[in-house]
Structure 1
Amino acid sequence: MAHDCFDYVVIGAGSAGSVVAGRLAEAGKGTVCVLEAGGRDWHPAIHVPAAVVYALGNPRLDWMYRTAAGSGIAGRSILQSRGKVFGGTGAINGHVCTRGHRSDFDDWAEQGNPGWTYAEVLPYFQRLEGRIGPGDARYRGRTGPFTITDIDAPDPLCEAFMDAAASQGIERAKDYNAAIQEGIAYVQRSIHKGRRVSPARVFLHPAVRRGEVDLRLDSQVVRLCLDGNRVTGVTYRRGGREETVLARREVILSAGAIGSPHILQLSGIGDGTYLKQSGIAVRHALPGVGTNLQDHFAARIVLRIQGARSINERVRGLPLLREVAKFAFLRKGVLTLTPTLLYCFAKSDPALSRGDIQVSFTPASYPGGVWSGLDRFPGATMACWQQRPESRGHVQAKSADPFDAPEIQPNYLVADADQRAIVSAMRLARAIAASEPFAQYVEREAWPGLDAASDDELLEHARQNGNTTYHVMGTCRMGPDSDARNVVNHRLEVHGLTGLRVADTSVIPDMPAANTNVPALMIGERAADFALGRPPLPTADV
């Protein structure tokens, strides 16, 4: 049977995969096919920034994975949303753009990954971004496809919260994506002219439109094709039929921190013991596949506001009609906002060399503290988490059926250090909220309420009510093959195989103090250069 054949086959049209495919096509040095399990990105919840709350949990856009019951979170199973649409999770995320602390990348390099220091990856961050707003040219990019902007206008409650943070020794950050991350600031966001900046739209769609990429939507990967230790292609299912596409040069796996290890396991690549238990024949033993799962886990504190308007009041009745008109005619207003407006990067102990906890703030609140419909009272939310969790989990195929979701066990709050950090973050959030000039706007803490006063009570609130921030990573860990946890080398090639590279947040060795979208784009930029055999960009002098 004849099969289609391309030079490069990219699995996944999410953030990293879109960059890889777009850059490969742009180079004009080979044919490119992209396989995406989801469909077109026409849904308004993708493009209207504030409507992202209606994208999460929408089966047309979301894989709607659920985690296994977690011992650290009171036996709960929680929704772990991942984008199943053109654009992947980059089409349904919260728009926030953070790179991470410079030391995060230096740590990656020190673990046997040459070429991944901050000074070496910074040029790739600069290449991908088109920063609109203030920024030091030594750190920021102005001409890249991915537009990063600031909030259109300051918010009174946010201004008061930042002023209150100063009383806790936390100053306003000039640019948390430049020289110094610590401090508090409005989030930088992937929103331009009132609409989401989707990586798929800016990196991949132009190449598809020019006929340089064969994009196959609604095409779910079944397995990789192996000939000995070489990956030769991909079998996928579309319209009820299995089809195979071959790769002359290589397959680049960019299905995300859940999808990529699952596809490897379905292909017989992983821990032999677990594969056999799942009824999968072992083709290449690689025990690290699916291990090392990390995620930011947040506990939220909801405040009832007085003396100022929160977003809650601006999105119902006549005010909502005004906001809809403002969005329709001006592309401004509440509908262009991110779900989070402020980020505070802080230390639980002043003696630390870098921040370890984070508090986000938004002048809106949601029942149960989870993105959904807004509370009916004037509210604000503080979300609190540990920047570099020590808890590690796994992704494991439960069967040989590619349509059977894998087991996802993040092991949230299992590590003692994570428990201490999240309590410290909640105490910092409360201290800021109790400080002027913000305190005048707080009628009371609505959830969990000040009855949760001790460390144990705050930790119990986190266990019972905390939730993911959707920052999963680490499940195809980058590092030398001398460490059994590692899956890919520093050039993102899978250990022991040829013709296969992984490019997404699954390769991240250890969690950076960042959301995942911008690091994923940087990884995509690097992977494209590796695949093309290009020399690295000149190291930054910073």
Structure 2
Amino acid sequence: MADFDYIIIGAGSSGCVLANRLSENGKHRILLLEAGGSDKRFWVQVPIGYGKTYYQKAVNWMYMTEEVPGLNNKPSYWPRGKVLGGSSSINAMVYIRGNARDYDDWAAAGNPGWAYQDVLPYFIKSEANQMGAGRYHGDDGPLYVSDVSKELHPLCQDYIQAGRQAGLDFNPDFNGARQDGVGPYQITVRHGLRMSAAKAFLHPAMKRANLTVQTYAYATRLLFEGKRVIGVEYERGGRRCKAFAAREVILCGGTINSPQLLQLSGIGPRDVLEPLGIDVIHDSPAVGRNLQDHVGVDYLFKCNKKTLNNELNPWWGKLWAGLRYIFARSGPLGLSINQAGGFFKTAPDLYQPDMQLYFSPVSYTRAPPKTRPLMNPDPFAAFLLGVSNCRPSSRGYLKIRSCDPHKAPEIQPDYLSTDDDIQRMLRGVRFIRELAGTAALKEIITEELRPGAACASDEALVQDIRDNAWSVFHACSTCRMGPDPQADVVDHCLRVYGVESLRIADASIFPSLVSGNTNAAAIMVGEKAADLILSDTALGR
């Protein structure tokens, strides 16, 4: 007899949702394995702590890509959560679902049941939005989403006014009826504490007798009986362990770890696996392919108004911010640095916004290498305007380097490898300059610190983009969902092609990137995956 009905590998955004929903009715025995440890850490729980966890090996896989030709042969650093809650425990907490057309495109690509009208109920089900229930929001779900528009730094109003002067409409809710416009971001914070997927979904479920959660459990390979997945082998406490599932194993390791485990287990491109001595269970060319990510560029401006730099740089400012947080759970320590933003089209004939904006009332030009000192900004007033391409056409890949499961895979995002991506980013940074030239910002900007006014020609701007573009940490699609077993990895029910009793539910299955931050969409995938699995169980499949 198997130890469990379902085994979930990875306690990230989707895995935490699945653990909750599959154990909810009390009928099924669930095992959740997580390679990292508990999320009950100070810098995980304090919102601004993501500056600390950004390079904290205890909670972060800290991946590094290969040298990227489009970034002038520089590698890209990829922090990924290795902790209960996964990347939702170390991210910047911005809650963006994506554009409705993103999901309609998923359905049109051969994935029935994934159009916007199909997935909207799962977004609503998952959230308790401070704005209240309505056509686009829920108010009784596990995930608390805060409207912090009244708590933002005053400079955000100057930015929003600049956006309106540049032709964008004010949008108080990027997750509502429309996405385009400029306005404040909603964040996954409640009472001054991070609302990760672990806090929202997993911790309440851990009280149930039918859910077993094992931390520091490093999955090394899937176990098979013929073509049927029957369990998983993993390392824990220096021992090699095995667990068996009577019904299914569900991979929720994310865009890097899910395809890595598939390849280690013999599911992947034959030409990758055979040279490493791995027996091919199923030759699946698409495992690790179609890698997509958002890349962004920031421009920094000195100004004559106070920013968070003035508040957080001096020791007395840090002390006051700390006291406000300790006694009232308020102030900058309880917020994200990404406080406002927006979405716009870089060309009038586009059917949806293709560019995301970011505004942060803070700057870090003097940060030492390998730090992200959100509590130690510059000693002068300055702010950041950023932009990223929502719909990149560049595609990368991921593949294992050896049969050693502890060796990080080769990751090549191949950023900015198409002319379309370059031209969109060029139009994006020119819009940053347009924002900076509006009356609202021009009167407070004293200097463009980076890249500087001398960087003006298309050639110079493109060079700057290649020199300074960075990952927005939204990698996806390495186990893409679609109708073609040769080009895709899972079908529209998230079942892995070529084997039985194995599904994937995380951002790796996205057919294409969503327009904006990816955590909300990953949680939605967990919600929908749970329904798909329980429906099959009810039908005796």
**Shared fold (TM-score greater than 0.5)?**
yes
- 1:71-470 equivalent positions in 2, closer than 5 A: 71-133=69-131, 137-151=134-148, 152-306=150-304, 308-315=305-312, 316-367=314-365, 371-372=372-373, 373-470=376-473
Deviation string, structure 1 residues 393-412 (Cα, Å, up to 9, x no partner)? 11100100000000111111
Cα distance, 1:368 vs. partner?
7.3
Question: Could you tell me whether the CA contact under 8 Å between 1:98 and 1:514 is conserved in 2?
Answer: yes
Deviation string, structure 1 residues 449-470 (Cα, Å, up to 9, x no partner)? 1111112211211211111111
1:497 aligned partner: 499
| Residue aligned with 2:395, SS | coil
Cα distance, 1:376 vs. partner?
2.4
Question: Could you tell me whether the CA contact under 8 Å between 2:151 and 2:331 is conserved in 1?
Answer: no
Question: Could you tell me whether the CA contact under 8 Å between 2:156 and 2:359 is conserved in 1?
Answer: yes
Question: Could you tell me whether the CA contact under 8 Å between 1:11 and 1:252 is conserved in 2?
Answer: yes
Cα distance, 1:278 vs. partner?
3.0
CA–CA separation in structure 2 for the residues paired with 1:377 and 1:404: 43
Cα distance, 1:520 vs. partner?
0.3
TM normalised by structure 2 equals: 0.96
Cα distance, 1:28 vs. partner?
1.8
CA–CA separation in structure 2 for the residues paired with 1:42 and 1:383: 32
Question: Could you tell me whether the CA contact under 8 Å between 2:356 and 2:516 is conserved in 1?
Answer: no
1:540 aligned partner: none
Cα distance, 1:385 vs. partner?
1.1
Cα distance, 1:269 vs. partner?
0.4
| Residue aligned with 2:61, SS | coil
Code of the residue aligned with 1:127 in structure 2: it is K
1:506 aligned partner: 508
CA–CA separation in structure 2 for the residues paired with 1:380 and 1:177: 25
CA–CA separation in structure 2 for the residues paired with 1:376 and 1:486: 50
Question: Could you tell me whether the CA contact under 8 Å between 2:2 and 2:246 is conserved in 1?
Answer: no
CA–CA separation in structure 2 for the residues paired with 1:110 and 1:496: 23
Question: Could you tell me whether the CA contact under 8 Å between 1:368 and 1:465 is conserved in 2?
Answer: no
| Residue aligned with 2:206, SS | helix
Question: Could you tell me whether the CA contact under 8 Å between 1:157 and 1:438 is conserved in 2?
Answer: no
With over 3 angstroms needed to count, the CA separation of the structure-2 counterparts of 1:208 and 1:134, relative to structure 1, is closer
| Residue aligned with 1:42, SS | coil
Deviation string, structure 1 residues 309-349 (Cα, Å, up to 9, x no partner)? 11112113212111111000110001011120112100111
Code of the residue aligned with 1:382 in structure 2: it is L
Question: Could you tell me whether the CA contact under 8 Å between 2:10 and 2:251 is conserved in 1?
Answer: yes
With over 3 angstroms needed to count, the CA separation of the structure-2 counterparts of 1:459 and 1:238, relative to structure 1, is same
Aligned residues: 531
Report percent identity of matched pairs: 39
Cα distance, 1:371 vs. partner?
4.2
CA–CA separation in structure 1 for the residues paired with 2:27 and 2:491: 24
Cα distance, 1:31 vs. partner?
0.2
Q: Which runs of 5+ in 2 are unaligned?
A: none
Code of the residue aligned with 1:425 in structure 2: it is G
Cα distance, 1:210 vs. partner?
3.0
CA–CA separation in structure 1 for the residues paired with 2:80 and 2:93: 14
| Residue aligned with 1:211, SS | coil
CA–CA separation in structure 2 for the residues paired with 1:210 and 1:325: 37
Deviation string, structure 1 residues 342-387 (Cα, Å, up to 9, x no partner)? 1210011122211111221110112379843422221111111111
Cα distance, 1:208 vs. partner?
1.1
| Residue aligned with 1:533, SS | helix
1:17 to 15, 18, 21: 15
Question: Could you tell me whether the CA contact under 8 Å between 1:295 and 1:410 is conserved in 2?
Answer: yes
Question: Could you tell me whether the CA contact under 8 Å between 1:367 and 1:375 is conserved in 2?
Answer: yes
Code of the residue aligned with 2:99 in structure 1: it is H
Cα distance, 1:535 vs. partner?
11
Q: Which runs of 5+ in 1 are unaligned?
A: 537-542
CA–CA separation in structure 2 for the residues paired with 1:460 and 1:358: 21
Deviation string, structure 1 residues 259-317 (Cα, Å, up to 9, x no partner)? 100000000100000112333221111110000111000111111121x1111121132
Code of the residue aligned with 1:395 in structure 2: it is L
Cα distance, 1:475 vs. partner?
0.4
| Residue aligned with 2:23, SS | helix
**CA RMSD, Structure 1 to Structure 2 (Å):** 1.6
Code of the residue aligned with 2:483 in structure 1: it is P
TM normalised by structure 1 equals: 0.96
